[in-house]
Structure 1
Amino acid sequence: MIKVLFVCLGNICRSPMAEAVFRDKVQHAGLNQKIEVDSAGTGDWHIGHPPHEGTRKKLDDIGISYEGMKGRQIRSEDFTDFDYIIAMDESNQRDIEDLMDRSGQAKVIRFMSLLNDEPSKSVPDPYYTGNFDEVYELVNKGTEALLQMIINEHLK
């Protein structure tokens, strides 16, 4: 089982959107028995809360489920339980790497590196910008690239 964890600051906007979109892609590819998906935040402000209403609205508009998703904070065991930890921005990546026990197996990847860093190095935080459409476009392209990478590296 390949395990993927998406991480942003509060785990209510970007990382749950990426989790839901990636989970949908995994299901449509018939790989839900081979790939497990979750999300977390580096901060603890939204533990137990559902995704942000902007994330929920965007996912509703495109017909992707977020049922049962609740915010949680990244934990030390995530570094050994997950194969990939995907940071939604540079600050999240630094925070993750600061927390990570070097014995962990997880490979930390900055999300935008999946898209060759274009147009920026970070997925903009819609909590501040309100632009959930832009975030979805990036998340949709990046999760497609991630799925192809995992298939090529582990499932061929």
Structure 2
Amino acid sequence: MFERILIVCVGNICRSPTAEFIFREKLKHRDIHVSSAGLRALVGRPMDDHAMQILKERGIDAAEHRARQLDPAMLRQADLVLAMEREHLSAVSRMAPEASGKIFLLDKWHDADDVPDPYRQSRQMFEHVHGMIERGVESWLRYL
């Protein structure tokens, strides 16, 4: 059903790449392409050190990631677009109104909470956000 999943946050160095690499790990035996991008991406930058270290501790290597800027073509090509915050849903819908029917919160199947941005915060905050992202990813797996 879904062949291309796109995950969106702001800078594309913390939340969306974390979700991207968790999805990739969970879906590694399926033919589903997962990518991420940012609304105001820090283009070309690797993942935040805390985010990358937490993934590494769980056996996921995200060293290849480089932040990229979201554009309307990415939204049109994706079958499913998952955003971290309600504000992102609105921004993405404005960027590509024709994609609005396939844009959802990562946490849709739980409390539909926003996943807070841990950028420039403590390792503890990154751990908390990582847990929220894992929960969101897990909740989507049955629909893929």
Q: What TM-score do you get using the length of structure 2 for normalisation?
A: 0.90
Aligned positions of 1:61-72 closer than 5 A: 61-72=57-68
**In 2, Cα distance between the equivalents of 1:8 and 1:125?**
9
| RMSD over aligned Cα atoms | 1.6
- The structural deviation recorded for 1:106 is 6.4
CA contact under 8 A between 1:10 and 1:43: conserved in structure 2?
yes
CA contact under 8 A between 1:8 and 1:42: conserved in structure 2?
yes
Q: Percent of aligned positions with the same letter in both sequences?
A: 29
1:97 to 93, 99, 107: 93
SS at match of 1:149: coil
Deviations 1:1-47 (A, max 9, x none): 611011001000000000011100001xx21xx21100000003x10
Runs (4 or more) in structure 1 with deviation over 4 Å come to: none
CA contact under 8 A between 1:17 and 1:136: conserved in structure 2?
yes
Q: 1:105 to 1:81 in 2, by over 3 A?
A: farther
Deviations 1:52-98 (A, max 9, x none): 11111111111112132110011111122100110111111111111
Unaligned runs of 5+ in 1: 151-156
2:141 to 135, 147, 152: 147
- The structural deviation recorded for 1:105 is 8.0
Q: 1:74 to 1:92 in 2, by over 3 A?
A: same
1:113 to 105, 108, 111: 108
SS at match of 1:67: coil
2:53 to 51, 57, 62: 57
CA contact under 8 A between 2:17 and 2:36: conserved in structure 1?
yes
Counterpart of 1:36? Answer: 33
**In 2, Cα distance between the equivalents of 1:53 and 1:13?**
9
CA contact under 8 A between 1:82 and 1:106: conserved in structure 2?
no
Counterpart of 2:132? Answer: 138
